[in-house]
Structures are given as C-alpha cells and as structure tokens.
Amino acid sequence: MLKTGDRAPDFSNPDADMNEVELSQFRGKNLVLYFYVRDDTPGCTTEAIEFSELEKEFAKLQTSVVGVSRDDCIKHGEFRDKHGIGVRLLADKDETTSKAYGVLQDKEVDGVKRRSATRSTFIIDKQGVIRHALYGVSSRGHAAEVLQLVKELK
C-alpha cells in the first residue's frame, strides 16, 4: 500500500476517447486519482457524478480529477455519455496501474474468489508526491471530502 510522502507511481492508460494519459501530464498541478470498481454500478456512478459536479471547484485549485477502473475505453465512453460524467476515465484492462497503486484485492463471493478493486483515492501534489492515500472509501460524499483535503494542501 502506498502512503503519504511516497512518489506516485507512473502510469499510462487510455481514456474514454482512447487518448493516452500519463502521470507526467499533470506535473505542475495537483491530481486526484480515484479508483473505482466498475462503470454504471450505483456507488461508482454516484462517485463519478459527484466528482464531475465539483470539477470546476477542483480546477480553481489547479487540480485535475481522473477516475480509473478495469473497464475498457468503450464502456467508459458509454458510462460518461449516459450520466454526463465530466472527469476523465482511464481504462486499466491489464491492471498495471491498479497493481502499482495497491488497490486490488481478492474477495470471495459465493465460494468463488475474484480479484476486485478497492475504492481508493490518491491526492498527488504538483511534484508527483502522494499527499493523501485513502483506501476503502465510501462513494457518497467522497468527492466533497477530497475537495476539502485539496483545499488544505500547502
């Protein structure tokens, strides 16, 4: 698991429009990188909508918000368009970024083990250092909590 003070792991993932997005593109501004389980599920939809609704507030604080899941680009595009999601959504089909950020865990459901993402958020500062590593967060109200943490960054 990553912690405050760690250098944020590099990543390179396609977004819903199949444009490659890399950590280095955010140098000089803060980044909220949030991981969620799956597009179009109740909690994940709530979280994405709430981050989108606060996107202008984050922008005033020189902060970009990016969501990551193991869904593909096409599914992200459908999810974005269906719900009016404004934040960028990155596809992590090969789980490289999810593994680097330590958000995957094995869960047992009905006697079957499955690998799943733990809803997690990382606030990365302008120098690429993790200022907050939040694992196992709740979806509802989380975007507002993260906005407050970004406001407190020095």
Q: Domain of 127: which CATH number?
A: 3.40.30.10
In this prediction, residue 109 carries a pLDDT of 73
Beta carbons of 73 and 89 less than 8 angstroms apart:
no
DSSP letter (8 states) at residue 118: P
Q: Is 7 part of a structural domain of the chain?
A: no
Q: Is 58 part of a structural domain of the chain?
A: yes
pTM of the model: 0.94
Catalytic residues: 44
Q: How far is CA 29 from the centre of its chain?
A: 16
Alpha-carbon span 14 to 21, nearest angstrom: 6
Closest to 131 measured CA to CA, from 48, 31, 28: 31
Q: Is the pLDDT higher at 34 or at 114?
A: 34
Q: Is 139 part of a structural domain of the chain?
A: yes
pLDDT band at 110 (very low <50, low <70, confident <90, very high): confident
- The parent domain of residue 86 ranges over 12-151
